[in-house]
Structure 1
Amino acid sequence: MLCGIFIFCAAQNSCKSLTWAKSMESVFENLKDTCEGKIAAEIEKLYAELEKQQSDWYKKTKFTCHSGCGMCCHNFEPDLTEAEANFMVLWLIQNQRQTAEKLLEENENSSKTCIFFNAENDCHCSIYGARPFICRLFGASSFYSKNHSLVWRPCKFYPEEKLSDFGLSHRQYSKDMAKKILGEVPPAMSDIMAQAMAVSPENKSTEPLRKILPRKIQHIFFLLKCCGNV
């Protein structure tokens, strides 16, 4: 049972961590006994745990994305799992209801850039607190090589001159080498995603963001209507 969710907006770079105010809990509280509410609680826990791991990484290494970049948002729109989409929709209805309602309309935008990209925001994301795992992990995660050893590669968009300040370049680093240069390696992407997939094991497929969200928004609005809280 969901016992009052507090959404945690993962801190990265100059973007501040935010928690729900007491007055912002209504949507989640109304769905606390539903499958959607329970899934949202589990995803929130994983987001908070990932934020903690990444905060440790940033604190030890001082290696963060340079302010105002946003290159990873261009020509890219994330695919979402059912669990991520569920969380994102609850967040949208609670925080940006008009945006959620607008997404129910036909969206013929042919742009390859994410529909939530915001050039005016230093984080370049208009739903930063609800962004999916791929966006949270990009540039701040490691991965396993073919021989199952942990490796890390700096973000491909990171300026070469700024990398050199850390004694780095655009190449792959073993765990030991990364720890020697920076002091730590970020969390492994596959470990995090395995936990995320376990939240809703019956549906491990993903769908494009602008395809899955309208369906989930319609479903959540239906549930809220049934609860008498549209």
Structure 2
Amino acid sequence: MSLVEKARAVQELFSELEEEAKTFHQEGGLGCLSGCGFCCSNPKVPASPLEFLPLAFDLESKGIADEIAKQLAMEEEPGSCVVYRKLSDDGKKGFCGNYSQRGLICRLFAASARRNQKTGRKELITCKPLKEEKAEAYRVVSEKINDTMEIPMASQWYTRLSDIDDHLNQLYPINQAILMALELVLTYRFYTQGEEGTAQ
């Protein structure tokens, strides 16, 4: 499978998840807080180069992949996601600058669950601000996902991502993962000279 084919496979996976997440949000009425960047501002968010291949191809098609790769390579300390746009000094308010090409971790947050190892119960993967500001909705949804409400299980989606390329699905701080994806795409384009088209 070529790099372009892997990126397309990742996009197809994301499209499937999008449908499941949409159904969950409609039924549960619970999702990320509007304008919140609490998670996006965290430089330690774990991500893989594989989940950011679509983003890397998108940035390459816009002619800015090399510039962003150089910017990331110069970071002395891991910073918050390079496509995150801050709207507050502390970085806790903002928005994604390339929402359609966001990674798996971004898509799963507040739209998936993990299973508690001790109790076996499903736990919504979300943040402190959402739990505090929508406490009652969070409580209700937490009960429903352990009853009849369907919710994407994060582990299953990571397994499916690994099935595309286990090696490229290793986790790193988010900007390092994006840099690795950009370097892969730039190298790929250098050798193929765009013969296969973009991953879009």
Which of structures 1 and 2 has the bigger CA Rg? 1
SS at match of 1:168: helix
> 1:133-152 maps to which residues of 2 (within 5 A)?
133-146=104-117, 149-152=120-123
Report the counterpart of residue 195 of structure 1 in structure 2: 160
Query: Which one of 113, 135, 147 corresponds to residue 80 of structure 2?
Result: 113
Question: Contact between 2:25 and 2:31, CA under 8 Å: does it hold in 1?
Answer: yes
Structure 2: state its 5+ residue gaps: 88-92
Query: Which one of 98, 122, 126 corresponds to residue 97 of structure 2?
Result: 126
Q: Whole-Å Cα distance in 2 between the matches of residues 52 and 228 of structure 1?
A: 28
What TM-score comes out, normalization by structure 2 length? 0.76
With 141-150 and 39-48 compared, the bigger mean Cα shift is at: 141-150
Q: Whole-Å Cα distance in 1 between the matches of residues 197 and 30 of structure 2?
A: 44
When residues 167 and 140 of structure 1 are mapped into structure 2, their CA distance, relative to the original with a 3 A threshold, is closer
Report the counterpart of residue 28 of structure 2 in structure 1: 61
Question: Alignment identity in percent?
Answer: 19
Report the counterpart of residue 186 of structure 1 in structure 2: 151
How far apart are residue 35 of structure 1 and its match? 0.6
Q: Whole-Å Cα distance in 1 between the matches of residues 145 and 53 of structure 2?
A: 36
Please state if 1:101 is matched with 2:66.
yes
Structure 1: state its 5+ residue gaps: 1-33
More RCO (CA 8 Å, sep 6+): 2
Q: Whole-Å Cα distance in 1 between the matches of residues 115 and 146 of structure 2?
A: 18
Query: Which one of 151, 157, 163 corresponds to residue 135 of structure 2?
Result: 163
- Match of 1:155, as an amino acid? C
- Match of 1:53, as an amino acid? E
Residue correspondences, number: 187
Q: Which is helix-richer, 1 or 2?
A: 2
How far apart are residue 150 of structure 1 and its match? 4.5
When residues 159 and 226 of structure 1 are mapped into structure 2, their CA distance, relative to the original with a 3 A threshold, is closer
What TM-score comes out, normalization by structure 1 length? 0.68
When residues 88 and 210 of structure 1 are mapped into structure 2, their CA distance, relative to the original with a 3 A threshold, is closer
How far apart are residue 140 of structure 1 and its match? 1.5
How far apart are residue 47 of structure 1 and its match? 0.0
Question: Contact between 1:81 and 1:205, CA under 8 Å: does it hold in 2?
Answer: yes
SS at match of 1:104: helix
Q: Whole-Å Cα distance in 1 between the matches of residues 145 and 178 of structure 2?
A: 39
1:85-143 Cα deviation digits (max 9, x unpaired): 3322112223x422x121232422646321211125x8711121111111111122101
Question: Contact between 2:39 and 2:45, CA under 8 Å: does it hold in 1?
Answer: no
Question: Contact between 2:116 and 2:123, CA under 8 Å: does it hold in 1?
Answer: no
With 66-75 and 219-228 compared, the bigger mean Cα shift is at: 219-228
